[in-house]
Amino acid sequence: MNRKHADGGTLLVTVFVFPGVRLLDVTGPIEVFTSANEFGGRYRLTIVSADGDEVRTAAGTRLGVDAAVADAHGTSDVLVIPGGPDWDRMIRDEALLGAVRTLDARARRTVSVCTGAFLLAAAGLLEGRRAATHWRHSLRLAQLFPGVRVEHDAIFVRDGKVTTSAGVSAGIDLSLAVVEEHSGAEVARAVAKDLVVFMQRPGGQSQFSVRARAPHTRQEALRRVLDAIAEAPGTDHTLAAMARRAGISARHITRLFRDELGTTPARYVEQIRLEAAQAMLETGDDPMTAIARRTGFGSPESLRRAFVRNLQVTPGAFRARFRSTGSGGPDTVHVR
């Protein structure tokens, strides 16, 4: 895109704030755009509230503003609509929704962070569009606004002029993608390195580690097995090996996996190994043969099949995504 304006070549980013807004939803995008200015970006930021008064965030921090919505003149290149934990109150506030509609009408592009999607939906700006929000609230968004096609695992989704993103820190992912579109991948990459964040996040909202999201178990034998798998994914984790490690029968270990984790031993091991392979692809340039061997897949072909079956992407394509935010790819970004 690389669009520049005649007025000094800057792009105007307008951030809308309101009482109870989540602080990181606001500061995350601001940090990305202001950091971009250090590496060749040309952004001018303005913070507005409905009445021009400062607001108190959900964290209790006061935020100053530059103008009221009515006094904010000019067309925004990017309008940022953050969210807040009290979203159910926000969507019933007609003054708030009116301010969002006014700002959107004066914006070339509107983006939301986390539950900011609820504000856009309640304002009628997501009707017939695809959208994303925090994984914990995505089902509720779909229920309350059936005209919105919710992408439950997406980090961010672009549909026309509107882009919605997932929970809290996903606003950083989205802002990096916007910077890449405006100023190129090198600027976005420099910002990501400066902020010590991923250029493109490894995973959709279901990315949280397999071990971390597994239910806590009081079964000591099973805990020993799970810890052994996590510590050394590439070693022998056949059913017989796990049973020996736990000191119980293969039938019993299978039943524990089913009852405690809701999966099979083989499926669990594959997920842990897949996670380990993702980490190696994200952080290094090891050949596929070494990655397959060290993570227990054995061969590059077995590694490839596991990636395609679980993530719908090859290991090579997964690694390539860390060279870009993915802004030039599909409008729905799962970034797995």
- Catalytic positions: 114
Distance from C-alpha of 303 to C-alpha of 317, rounded to nearest angstrom: 13
Sign, CA torsion 41/180/14/11: positive
| Tokens, residue 287 | 């050949």
Distances (CA, A) of 27 to 113, 119, 259: 11, 18, 43
The set of residues, in sequence order, having a beta carbon less than 8 Å from that of 188 and lying 6+ positions away, is: 36, 176, 177, 179, 180, 199, 324, 325, 327
Residue with token string 């072909």: 301
- Give the up-direction half-sphere exposure of residue 248: CA atoms within 13 A in the CB hemisphere: 16
Q: Is 191 helix (H, G, I), strand (E, B) or coil?
A: helix
Buried b / exposed e along 39-63 (16+ C-beta atoms within 10 A): bebebbbebbbbeeeebebbeeeeb
CB contact at 8 A, 178 and 326: no
In Å, how far are 83, 270, 279, 316 from 312, measured between CA atoms? 31, 15, 17, 12
What number of helices (H) and strands (E) belong to the chain? Answer: 15, 12
Tokens coding 230: 């996590």
What secondary structure letter does DSSP report for 39?
G
Give the SS3 label for residue 261: helix
What is the signed CA dihedral for 85, 12, 327, 138, rounded to 10 degrees? 20
Which amino acid is residue 75, in one-letter code?
T
Q: What letter does residue 215 receive in the DSSP assignment?
A: P
